[in-house]
Amino acid sequence: MNRLAGKTAVVVGGGQRPGATIGNGRATAVAFAREGAQVLVVDRDLEAAKDTVAQIRAEGGNGHPHTADITRPADCETIPRAATATFGQVDILHNNVGVVVAAGTEATSYDDWERGLSINLTGLWLVCRQFLPLMRAQGHGVVLNISSLAGLLPGANPYSIAKNGVNALTRGLALEYAPHGIRVNAIVPGMIDTPIGVDRVADATGRDRDEIAAARAAQVPMRRQGSAWDIANAAVFLASDEASYITGAVLPVDGGSALHTSTN
Ligand SMILES: NC(=O)c1ccc[n+]([C@@H]2O[C@H](COP(=O)([O-])OP(=O)(O)OC[C@H]3O[C@@H](n4cnc5c(N)ncnc54)[C@H](O)[C@@H]3O)[C@@H](O)[C@H]2O)c1
C-alpha cells in the first residue's frame, strides 16, 4: 500500500470494453489509486471513464474522468491541461489505448492501416509529446506504454507494426529523456483474460467464451491466462520509485509466451 503516495497519474484508455472480467486500463487505474496516487482516467468513452472513477471512489481513492480521443491532436492537448488543472502536476503517464486491427495483408484496406497505426502508435506518440515538456520542466516523470506480444513477433498487420513501433518508441524516448529524469518503459501483455482479449473474439466469432479462454490458456507455457491485475501490478512497480533505475525496458507479462513463440 501507498507505493505511489503523493503522486499523480494519468491513465489514457482507463475505461474498458464491457465484458466478464476487468480490463487492463481499468485495473491499472484502480491499482494506482489503491497505492495512493490521484488518477485522471482518460477515455474517448466518457461513461467508461466514469465507471472506473466510480470504482476508485468507492474504494476511497481519488479519481477524475476526462474524455479525449487520442487519434485527435486537439483532444490530446486537453489531457495535460485537465491533469494539471486537477492535480497541479503529473508524475505518471500510462498509455493503455490499443485496438486490434490485424487481418492479412490483402484483407487490410488503406483505412484499416491508417486506423490501426493512428490508434495504436500515432495517438500514443501524440499523448507523450504533450506530456514530455511538462515532465522535463519539472525534472521527473514516468511514462508507461502498453505494448503486446504482437510487438515482439513478426506480423505485417497494422496492430503488429504499431506495437513493434511502441517498443521502438519506448526505447527511443527512454534514451532521449533519461538525462531529464524521465523514465519510459513498456509492458508487453501476453494472453490476458480481459474483454478485449476474450469477449471481443467471442463476439466476432460467436464461439463460446470459455472455449476461447481455454484455447488461449493452452498456448501459454504456464498453461493459464494472466489477469488484468498482473498488468496493473507490473505498472505499479514500474511507476514506483522501486523502479527508479529502470528505463527503456520492454517487459513481458505473459506466463512465458514470448519465450515459447520465439523458440517454436
Ligand atoms: N488483453 C489482452 O490479452 C492483451 C494482450 C496484449 C495487449 N493488450 C493491450 O492492452 C491494452 C488494452 O487493454 P484493456 O483490457 O484495457 O482494453 P479495453 O479495450 O477494455 O480498454 C481500452 C479503453 O481504451 C479506450 N479507447 C479506445 N480507443 C481510444 C482512443 N482513440 N482514444 C481514447 N480512448 C480510447 C476504449 O474506449 C476503452 O475504454 C491495449 O493496448 C492492448 O493492445 C491486451
Nearest to 225 by CA among 261, 188, 262, 256: 256
Is 41 within the bounds of a domain?
yes
What is the residue-level pLDDT of the chain in tens, covering all 264 positions?
799 999 999 999 999 999 999 999 999 999 999 999 999 999 999 999 999 999 999 999 999 999 999 999 999 999 999 999 999 999 999 999 999 999 999 999 999 999 999 999 999 999 999 999 999 999 999 999 999 999 999 999 999 999 999 999 999 999 999 999 999 999 999 999 999 999 999 999 999 999 999 999 999 999 999 999 999 999 999 999 999 999 999 999 999 999 986 554
Nearest to 120 by CA among 28, 46, 13: 13
* Residue nearest atom 13 in ligand 1 by C-alpha distance: 24
Q: Where are the beta strands (DSSP E) in the chain?
A: 8-12, 38-43, 62-67, 92-95, 141-146, 182-189, 250-253
- Supply the pLDDT for residue 264: 44
Nearest to 29 by CA among 165, 144, 131, 148: 144
- Supply the pLDDT for residue 260: 80
Is 87 within the bounds of a domain?
yes
Domain of 33, in residue numbers:
8-262
d(CA 192, ligand 1 centre) in Å:
12
For cell 529523456, the residue is 177
* Residue nearest atom 24 in ligand 1 by C-alpha distance: 13
What CATH code is carried by the domain that includes residue 62?
3.40.50.720
Q: How many domains does the chain have?
A: 1
Is 3 within the bounds of a domain?
no
Q: Is 159 a catalytic residue?
A: yes
Q: What predicted TM-score, i.e. pTM, was given to this entire model? A: 0.98
- Supply the pLDDT for residue 247: 99
d(CA 233, ligand 1 centre) in Å:
17
Strand 92-95, strand 182-189: pairing = unpaired
Strand 62-67, strand 92-95: pairing = unpaired
Is 2 within the bounds of a domain?
no
Whether ligand 1 lies within 6 angstroms of the CB of 166 is answered as no
- C-alpha dihedral (161, 226, 264, 98), degrees to nearest 10: -10
- Supply the pLDDT for residue 33: 98
Is 158 within the bounds of a domain?
yes
* Residue nearest atom 18 in ligand 1 by C-alpha distance: 16
Q: Where are the beta strands (DSSP E) in 102-261?
A: 141-146, 182-189, 250-253
DSSP letter at 175? H
d(CA 83, ligand 1 centre) in Å:
21
Is 1 within the bounds of a domain?
no
